[in-house]
Amino acid sequence: MLIAVLIGVPAVAGALLLVLRPARGAAAVGIGTAVAVLALAVAAALTRPSLDLPLLAGIRAGLAVDDLSAVLVLTVASVLPASLVVAAAEGELRTGRFQGLMLLFAAAMLGTVTATTVPPLLIAWEIMGATSWALIGYRSADRAAARAGAVAFLTTRTADLGIYVAAGAMLAGGIGGIGGIGGIGGLELADLTGTEGGWLHVAVGGLVLAALGKSAQLPFSFWLSGAMRGPSPVSALLHSATMVAAGAYLLLRVSPALAATGWAGPVVTWIGLGTAVLLGLVAAAQTDLKQLLAASTCSQIGFIVVAAGNAAVGAGLLQTVAHAAAKSLLFLVAGIWLARLGTRSLDGGLRGAARRAPVVGVAFTVGALALAGFAPFGLWIGKDAVLATSLAVSPAQYVVGLVAAGIAAVYSGKALWFVWRPARDDRVAVAAPSVLVTVVLAAGAAAAGLLAFAPALRPDPVPHPGELVASALIAVAGVAVAWRIGDRCAAPRSLSGWLGLESLAVRGLARPVLVAAAALARADGGLDRAVTGAARGVLSLALLTDRRAERGGLEATVRAVARGARELGAAARRPQTGQVHQYYAQASVGFGLLAALAVLVIVVR
């Protein structure tokens, strides 16, 4: 029952705010609901509730807070109130629509991470996608934001089809349904490895596709760039701890199935490493703070994907929590600066931003250093826990991972260099609740490494002290290099443009699809015209037959025969006068004619 309340409270409150849209008090209701969700999440993490409900004939819905989902439940519930408190400082985000959408999204995310069977996962996944689209395009007057929301929605929806394929493959492979391995109505994610025959590969392939799309991994990373058009609190919630983490979390949950296929684990691992390196370079090339943070999100989520590919669940969870704490902090500070300074340009209005709001600036510095991998912050431990699993599998993985870690230090140092330049203007005032949120999140980002001692997040294998020292030195060196270079290095256009992936997707996929759709539409139109022409021909032929054959020919003949019959009848009635003498005269004439005919026959013979 607790798990239903945990998901139901934000869902109902969000729906009511969205429908009623109160003129006042929406922010208070939203924050109050978020705090209640946090309390429920703590209770759920302690008591580990589960729920099993019949959904459809032969299919059931399973929800549970286990060791894996408890971490994500707490993470989502912690970031939600922080995002809403900062959003409350902006007038346009205190509306019932915004608060309602945020709560609905959180409910969907909680449903996603607690789902143990595919049907509730699909439902929550779809709601999460729809609400994220509405939140990214929240400012409806901003056409660029609306387009970005559509791009994000269509890109992730394309990848989401993989879950439907996976569900069908699981059913075909004997998982779920009546008599399935999971019992009546299974479709249990935990039973995925039992999928029979080649259906296991199809199911795993579908889930990998959906997860990579949702987590903005290569080649789907570009949608996250456009998503930065949304409000910063949306970025803090969706693009640090929830939506982008959902895909990586799904991979962690099905990591035994990845290993069972023999191919999915290595593929996922190298996609994660490739994303960590390439999107790290993209982040280092940005001069827009939110774009830098977005690209770094792809890169850091790549480490979680690597952990999933190597079946290192504890290391992956540790990286997930540490990244959520640091990145939600950085996005919220970016939003505060955008609201107060009106810019997110590092080489423009954000020069010296940390000096103009010192407390917020120090909090940003903690988050950036954590992102860089500085010891003893959380991402230092989390990243090294992932790299330790890579070293156990392949030295090549470890080396590439270290390269990605060094790049992370460079882009983090670049952001710090800009915001700590000498300030040109006076200090700016920041609302006290927003400052408090940044301080709390900074403390969380700094202390997240302590979670490595928790049983569910304990890395296996444990990083060697030498590896920890090496990565810490790389982080220091990367920040030092960025500080030395400053703004003297121009970035290649391919990197600042996110590798041109959106353009490639448009030219390689969207346009061909549109051209094919237009061709099919034209073919459909031609078929329609052909059918319409045939119908018109048949109608004309019918009218011609009616007019010429039936009315002019057959009907006229019938009428002539009828008329002749009526005339013969009239002629036949004429001798029938009822007078005996006339009948006698007619008989005499008849007999006379017969007699004459008989004489004629005799003479002729």
Q: Give the mean pLDDT of the chain.
A: 90
d(CA 7, CA 124): 10
Residue 174 in this model has a pLDDT that exceeds 90: no
Residue 459: pLDDT band (50, 70, 90) is: confident
How far apart (Å, rounded) are the C-alpha atoms in residues 185 and 160?
22
Please check whether residue 288 is in contact with residue 346, taking contact to mean a CB–CB distance below 8 angstroms.
yes
Residue 43: exposure state from Cβ atoms within 10 A (0-12, 13-18, ≥19): middle
pLDDT tens string 54-101: 877 667 889 999 989 999 999 999 999 999 999 998 888 999 999 999
C-alpha 176/C-alpha 49 separation (Å) is 22
What percentage of the chain reaches a pLDDT higher than 90? 64
pLDDT of residue 179: 47
- Of the segments 280-284, 506-510, 577-581, 595-599, which one has the largest average pLDDT value? 280-284
- Tell me how crowded residue 425 is: count the other CB atoms within 10 A of its CB: 12
Look at residue 185 and tell me whether its pLDDT is greater than 60. Answer: no
Angstrom distance (rounded) from CA 237 to CA 69: 17
What gap in Å lies between CA 553 and CA 550, rounded to an integer? 6
